[in-house]
Structure 1
Amino acid sequence: MKVMVMVKANKDSEAGVMPSQELLAAMGEYNEALVSAGIMEAGEGLKPSSQGARVHFNGKDRTVTKGPFIEINELVAGYWIWKVDSLEEAIEWVKKCPNPMEEASDIDIRPIYEMEDFEEVDTDGKCLDQEKTLRHTIAMQKAQVNNYLFFSGCCEEALAFYQTHLGARVDMLLRFNESPEPMPEGMLPPGYEEKVMHCEFAIGDMTIYASDGCGDEGAFAGFNLALTIDSEEEARRVFEVLADGGTVRMPLEKTFWSPLYGQVVDKFGMGWIVMLPPVA
């Protein structure tokens, strides 16, 4: 079950009084314990109601009232979202919490409705299906997509090349012999112990993952890295560098969608699209 655990507001929190350093540290340790136990899904402190607003609904009418609000004992100063096995488990965890205020305070625990709770109303299951779709959509909106390149033994050489000519920035690099766990026997070809197991590098605002893989991973087929550059001079320089030792599939030229566009496969087998941004 999921519960919302709410820290009730008081005159100090509504006045914007900051917690002491000791209390802040204690709450940090408590949050670490919640995360380590695997029950904390979210948690935030709320600014005073003087910085918020309230919208009152009456039929089709909407009335907006700016804070502060006088019913301090009805306000919330912070919250957690926990996933627990029972209300009793949540109670035990709350009892371990440091007093969140410098004076007497209250923490409320409220179970969160799950769609299964509405089965008697949602008789055809359409609302449940809609809820599942929305949850999937929200999860994917937070997802990150990165290219992962396998260089079949020449990853480090490729990184040096991209650093020199494309201004690549290598953020981390882990070799097979630095792995915290040993590789399965027979997985690596001879001499691969110092090859790149995993690395992360950036070109412009694009983050790319890369590895030597575990042998011949084959050519980079079916996709390209698209590199948009504002300067024509720089675009031509980059294209020539990538074409050196590689293959030009489409020379740089004007197209109806870009003032300058070309396709090239570099000497490592990586396909690139080099282009200027479209003219507005």
Structure 2
Amino acid sequence: MKVMVIVKATASSEAGEMPDPALMEAMGQYNEELVKAGIMQNGDGLKPSKEGFRVRFDGNSREVNRGPFSATSELIAGFWIWEVKNLEEAIEWVKRCPNPMPESSEIEIRPFYEMSDFADIPGVGDTLKKEDEMRQQIALRAAQTNTYLFLGNRTEEALKYYEQHLGAVIHMMMRFSESPDPIPEGAIPPGAENGIMHAEFSVGTTKLFASDGCGESAAPAGFSLAFTVATAELAHAAFDALADGGEVTMPLQQVFWSPLYG
């Protein structure tokens, strides 16, 4: 389930006081734990309400008011968006959070509505369908596409060269011999066990994948594109669309490095 974790404003946050370095470091470590656990989807701090506006609606009229706003404890100073198993898990993670303010503070947890929550409302079937299609379009626009280089038996050599001369950063590099799953018999030629099965690196702001491949060619053999989406539903939809009229060289399936890959 998806939840918003809301950091309530305090007198210091409304005054625009910056956190001390120790708190920033502690919150940074906490956010890193959230990311590693696969829970955090987004998060940010908000400027004091004096920097914001409110628009009041009354029929067709629109009244714009500038902050600051009263009732400090009801204002928001920051938020996270988390994907958790249940509210109990969210509560446990919030209890581990450093106090985000120099004074006493409060963090609120609110679950998002899901489309199924509206299913019993009469006559909303078409609206829910359109809403779901819109959400899928938004999710697809957030997908990542990475160039996947196949460099024969020279991946390790190439990445070291890029590292030295292009300032490349190597994020991971796994050999066939390091695979947690056995390599199928005949998938790679004899003696290729020490080759690079998969590597990820970045040059500047561009992230790339690379591999020695499975022995198709000793020379660099061009590239593929790795299209990464957020859910299994989107993965199946995108894969099926590309497979229609295309050639499937590997069916979409669970593998040790991904819930779905094909």
Within the alignment, does 1:3 sit opposite 2:7 as a pair?
no
**1:136 CA displacement:** 1.6
Corresponding residue number in structure 1 for 2:120: 120
> For residue 234 of structure 1, what is the aligned residue in structure 2?
none
Aligned-partner Cα distance in 2 for 1:111–1:212: 45
Q: In the TM superposition, what whole-angstrom CA distance separates every residue of 1:99-154 from its partner, at most 9, and x where no partner exists?
A: 22111222222222111111122645223222322222122212222332435446
**Residue by residue, what CA displacement relative to the aligned partner does 1:45-73 show, whole Å, maximum 9, x if unpaired?**
11112222222222233332232223322
- What is the identity, as a one-letter code, of the residue corresponding to 2:183? P
Cα deviation per residue 1:144-172 (whole Å; 9 max; x = unaligned)?
22332435446689x59x98xxx987654
Distance 2:205 2:6 in 1: 39
2:110, 2:22 → 1: CA distance?
28
CA contact (8 A) 1:7 1:79 kept: yes
Larger Rg: 1 or 2?
1
Q: Quote the offset at 1:214 in angstroms.
A: 1.0
Confirm or deny: 8 A CA contact 1:169 1:201 kept in the other structure: no
- Looking at structure 1, the residues matched to 5 and 125 of structure 2 have their Cα atoms a distance apart, in angstroms, of 29
CA apart distance, 1:82: 2.7
Q: CA RMSD in A?
A: 3.9
Residues 22 and 122 (structure 1), Cα distance of their counterparts in 2 relative to 1, 3 Å cut: farther
Establish whether residue 176 from structure 1 lines up as the match of residue 175 from structure 2: yes
CA contact (8 A) 2:57 2:63 kept: yes
Counterpart residue identity of residue 118, structure 2: F
Query: 8 Å contact 1:189–1:214 — kept in the other structure?
Result: yes
Query: Structure 2 vs 1, CA of residues 188 and 44 (structure 1 numbering), >3 Å: closer, same or farther?
Result: same
With over 3 angstroms needed to count, the CA separation of the structure-2 counterparts of 1:171 and 1:179, relative to structure 1, is farther
- 5 Å matches for 1:74-93? 74-93=74-93
- Aligned position for 1:68: 68
Query: Once the two structures are superposed, what CA deviation does each residue of 1:216-269 show, in whole Å capped at 9, x if it has no partner?
Result: 269979x9xxxxxxxxxxxxxxxxxxxxxxxxxxxxxxxxxxxxxxxxxxxxxx
Structure 1: runs of 5+ lacking an equivalent: 224-280
Residue of structure 1 equivalent to 2:98 = 98
| Closer, same or farther: CA 197–128 of 1 in aligned 2, 3 Å | same
CA 1:20–1:149 in 2, change beyond 3 Å: closer, same or farther? closer
Q: Percent identity, aligned pairs only?
A: 49
State how far apart, in whole Å, the 2-side matches of 1:21 and 1:30 are.
14
Amino acid corresponding to residue 184 of structure 1 in structure 2: I
Q: 1:182 to 1:90 in 2, by over 3 A?
A: closer
Name the residue aligned to 1:40: 40
How far 1:96 moved relative to its partner?
Answer: 3.3
Say if 2:176 and 2:183, in contact at 8 Å, map to a contact too.
no
CA spacing shift, 1:185–1:89, aligned 2, 3 Å: closer
In structure 1, what is the equivalent of residue 232 of structure 2? Answer: none
Unaligned residue ranges in structure 2 (runs of 5+) = 225-262
Q: Cα gap change, 1:7/1:176 in structure 2, threshold over 3 Å: closer, same or farther?
A: closer
| Aligned equivalent of 2:49 | 49
**Paired residue for 2:211?**
211
* TM-score, length basis structure 2: 0.64
SS of aligned partner of 1:70: coil
> May I ask how many residue pairs the two structures share in their alignment?
218
1:139 counterpart residue number: 139
What is residue 239 of structure 2 aligned with on the other side?
none
- Paired residue for 2:230? none
Q: Following the alignment from structure 2 to structure 1, what is the Cα–Cα distance between the partners of residues 40 and 208?
A: 31
